[in-house]
Amino acid sequence: MTEEKHLKRILALGMPLMIGSVLQLLMHTMDVYFISQLGKEFTAASSMGASIANVLFIFSMLVSTGAVALVARKVGEKDLESVKSYGFSSILLSLVLGLIISILSLIFSKQIILIYDPGPELLSIIKAYVDILFAFNFVNFLNTTLRSIVQSMGDTKGPLYIFGTANVINIVLDYVFIVHFEWGIRGAAIATVFSQAAACIVLIVLIVRSIYGNFSNFLNHVGVRFSEFKDIFSIGLWACIQNMARPITGLIMMRIVYSVGGTNGSAAFGIGLNVVNYFFIILAGISGAITILVGQKIGEGHIDEAKAIVKEGRLYGFINFMIFAIPYLIFTKYLFMPFNPEAGVLEIGVRYVRIVFLGFICLGDVFMYRGAFAGSGDTYPPMIASLSANVLCKFSLAIVLTKFTNLGIDGVWIAIAASIFIEWIIINVYYRKGKLYQKEITGH
């Protein structure tokens, strides 16, 4: 396959993922926009609540990461019966796991929020927001796995249409529930879970029709297959631990930000995250495409082609960095204006974006290597890289820089940038060993 064909295939799979990321980020941006009109306390509360929700969401990767690697590999091997079998096992596991997380998070809701040590008023605002999200965690878990299955088949457009429509519904409902009905921050949470539930129903219908042909054939694959559960979890476990490190340290970092910068710092961090998240759109799209293609190419036995695809992805990642350098380093403050920030929030937020962006220069490589490891089913090396960077580096360095220097909240931003470089070094070493391309991932 020539480089031109590589690019066409990466874009064919990655472009819908990118557009989907844009729509998802727009939805989050509109959430923050409507909530910010309620006051900076509500903006801080939604930021803290989102951090908690992100930590719980990572548990869905126990299933979804295994699903994408296994289904993509079986598609490459043209073993459609195993695709159907692993597909149902993944759906069943995500539903059960999601229900467990929903129940536990609701029971321990207050204790989880108290990690931030918020005042009574802020505590009640956060709880009003996250309790609704907690109750429907199982829907979010299902959506993640369902989308992974569809995308692993090479269909990235179907999920785009489904979640794009769901995001539009969410934005409309944000206005209706927050502004018109005056339900406050609860309205944002209700809008989110309603749109997720709608997407879940449509995704299930899509999978039944495209993979199983009809509902009767889907039912024929109903069963508890422990060997498949083991295959799924053996891949998903390391990916879950890897991705758990980032939001958990993010949650702790939010706690540090709140203790050092107060409400202004938390609000700036929350808005800043929405601003910098747009940088990841292209990276996530290309990385997702690489995951699918590497899995399929390994299944086909085309290892050199898989390596060439990863190499191209790294180039596109660097181009992405150069594109975003201008708005993030020069026009930074204008990116915050739609959120109606106070002067203190704006000042802190601008410094956050500029400092953290310096670490983004090597994120293209990190994303592409992660995609390659995920596609091969070898999720242990990215886990080691992520834990080392986010726990040993980011968390500890943030504490040192905020407690023992005069950097203040800027110490947190420097710690985040430094952790990115550490992750890049470690995952780069693992990738160059090349062991991921010989990884066996199923017991079939």
Residue 310: which of 128, 436, 207, 132 has the closest Cα? 436
In whole angstroms, give the CA distance from residue 148 to residue 146.
5
* pLDDT of res. 4: 54
In whole angstroms, give the CA distance from residue 113 to residue 126.
7
Residue type (1 letter), 40: K
| Distance from the Cα of residue 305 to its chain's centroid | 27
Question: What ranges in 277-302 are assigned the alpha helix state H?
Answer: 280-300
Phi-psi group of 259: left, alpha or beta (phi > 0 → left; psi -120 to 50 → alpha; rest → beta): alpha
* pLDDT of res. 1: 46
* pLDDT of res. 442: 61
Q: Flag residues of the chain having pLDDT under 50.
A: 1-2
pTM for the model stands at: 0.70
* Lookup result for tokens 């290892």: 303
- Domain residue limits, the chain: 3-438
Sign, Cα dihedral of 69, 72, 75, 77: negative
What one-character DSSP code corresponds to residue 413?
Answer: H
* pLDDT of res. 245: 67
Residue 251 CB neighbour total at 10 angstroms:
18
Q: Please report, to the nearest 10 degrees, the dihedral formed by the alpha carbons of residues 84, 87, 89, 93 taken in order.
A: -170
In whole angstroms, give the CA distance from residue 209 to residue 203.
10
The residues, ordered by sequence, that sit 6+ positions from 78 with a Cβ below 8 Å of its Cβ are none
Give Cα separations from 403 to 309, 311, 348, 398, 408 (angstroms): 44, 41, 18, 8, 8
Helix H or strand E encompassing 344: helix 343-357
Q: Dig out the tokens for 416 from the structure.
A: 């985040």
CA diameter of the chain: 66
Residue 225: which of 86, 410, 36 has the closest Cα? 86
The 10s digit of each residue's pLDDT in 138-193 is 999 999 999 999 988 888 888 889 988 998 899 899 999 988 898 988 999 999 99
